[in-house]
Amino acid sequence: MVKTTSDFQKMKSSREPIVMVTSYDAPGASLCEEAEVDTILVGDSLGMVVLGYESTVPVTIDDMVHHTKAVKRGARNTFIVTDMPFMTYHASLQETMAGARRLMQESGADALKLEGSGEVFVHTKALVDAGVPVVSHLGLTPQTVGVDGGYKVKGKSAAEQEQLLKDAKQAEKAGAFMLVLECVPEEAAKKVQASISIPVIGIGAGRYTDGQVLVYHDITGYYAGHTAKFVKQYTNISEPVQRALKEFKQEVKAGIFPAEEHVFQPLDKHVKLYGDK
């Protein structure tokens, strides 16, 4: 059955690690559900791993609705978190609410994830007040890659760690039920984990968080782009896929495929077809 926000809270209390994997389509989501992951993230990494963009910045609410619907069809019994994309929760509370309403009502998301701190927490609180479960995302926030000047580890200095801790506490206070912490030193993540009561899911945040999240295409090796240090590639499906495609091509060129078993025949095998002798 679909988990609830309180199930994740209980998992933190009982120290059962929470497993989150991204999905962007029905077959991928279905495999995640069969693997019994605790929750699926329809990440805006979608833009980079399946839509071919350079960053997550071009991803829209329409993209997230479209892909979350597909994920929901593939994984009806898994808790789905969907990323609110770039600049859709900053301009006004009205715009935040309109986007969130679409993601929650049209797409089948169970919760929404918002990157960043400060003003973002005003939007977090408004969403939670309206009944939307919210996940906060701190540390490296890919949507601010432009102002950050690249994808860089956050919380390396004492001052940055102090700020991170403050932000995490504010996220909890704003009503977030979960926190994703990306690319921070292990020691900083450990402090955050111990300082707030909501579960902390790490990606490049070391061994002491309440759970881990990785991108589906990074786990399976189905992505040609840059692979971060925190990724463990458990298999490389690109290789067998490439081999199969080359073999298909060779067999068609050589007249090997299709063979007799792939061919349809008429009801009466003795019917003479045009061109038959």
Ligand X SMILES: CC(C)C(=O)C(=O)O
Decide if residue 59 touches ligand MHF (CB under 6 A): no
Q: Which is nearer to ligand MHF, 41 or 126 (CB)?
A: 41
Place of tokens 């025949």: 265
In contact, 47 and 217? CB cutoff 8 Å? no
What's 148's DSSP letter? H
- The correct pick among 37, 49, 126, 138 for binding ligand MHF (CB under 6 A) is 49
C-beta separation of 38 from 8 below 8 A = yes
When CB distances are held under 5 to 8 angstroms depending on the partner's kind, the choice from ligand X, ligand MHF, Mg ion, none that residue 223 binds is: ligand MHF
Would you say 33 and 74 are in contact if contact means Cβ atoms under 8 Å apart?
Answer: yes
By CB under 5 A, tell whether 167 contacts Mg ion: no
Binding partner of residue 72 among ligand X, Mg ion, ligand MHF, none, CB cut-off 5 to 8 Å per kind: none
Select from 166, 109, 120, 159 the least CA-distant residue to 143: 120
Give the residue with the Cβ less far from ligand MHF, 10 or 152.
152
63 binds ligand MHF (CB under 6 A): no
CB of 28 to ligand X, least distance (A): 13
d(CA 27, CA 46): 15
Catalytic residue among 119, 162, 182, 239: 182
**Is 43 one of the binding residues for Mg ion (CB under 5 A)?**
yes
> Tokens 């971060």 identify what position?
228
CA distance 198 to 11: 10
Interaction between residue 220 and ligand MHF (CB under 6 A): no
Q: Is 160 a catalytic residue?
A: no
For residues 41 and 229, the answer to whether their CB atoms sit within 8 Å is no
Q: Bridge-partner residues for 178, per DSSP?
A: 135
Tokens of 146: 């432009």
The correct pick among 18, 29, 44, 111 for binding Mg ion (CB under 5 A) is 44
- List, by residue number, the catalytic residues: 182
Give binding residues for 3-methyl-2-oxobutanoate as ranges: 44-45, 83, 113
* Residue ranges that bind Mg ion, judged by CB under 5 A: 43-44, 83
Binding site for ligand X (CB under 6 A): 22, 41, 43-45, 83, 137, 180, 182, 203, 213, 215
